[in-house]
């Protein structure tokens, strides 16, 4: 998701890199929130990286999935 982009969605992906504004649910293996990005919603991921200055509002579940 590019800087300045605004997205409302439910996403399932291997990797999600957010520089813009994401609202919704993200299920990923790797989630990266750039310093310019913001998230309002729910993130379920195995690997989480949030840069200083990024904004996150909602729920985060990080780590290996059970049974996987």
How does residue 4 score in pLDDT terms, banded at 50, 70 and 90?
A: confident
pLDDT tens digits, 21-53 = 999 999 999 999 999 999 999 999 999 999 999
Give the pLDDT score at 64. 83
Handedness of CA 64, 61, 43, 39 (dihedral sign): negative
Residue 60 belongs to what H/E stretch?
strand 55-62
């Amino acid at each position: 998701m590019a800087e300045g982009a605004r997205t409302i969605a439910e996403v399932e992906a291997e990797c999600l890199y957010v520089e813009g504004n994401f609202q919704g649910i993200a299920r990923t293996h790797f989630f990266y929130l750039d310093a310019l990005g913001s998230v309002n919603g729910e993130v379920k991921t195995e690997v989480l990286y949030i840069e200083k200055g990024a904004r996150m509002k909602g729920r985060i579940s990080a780590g290996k999935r059970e049974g996987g």
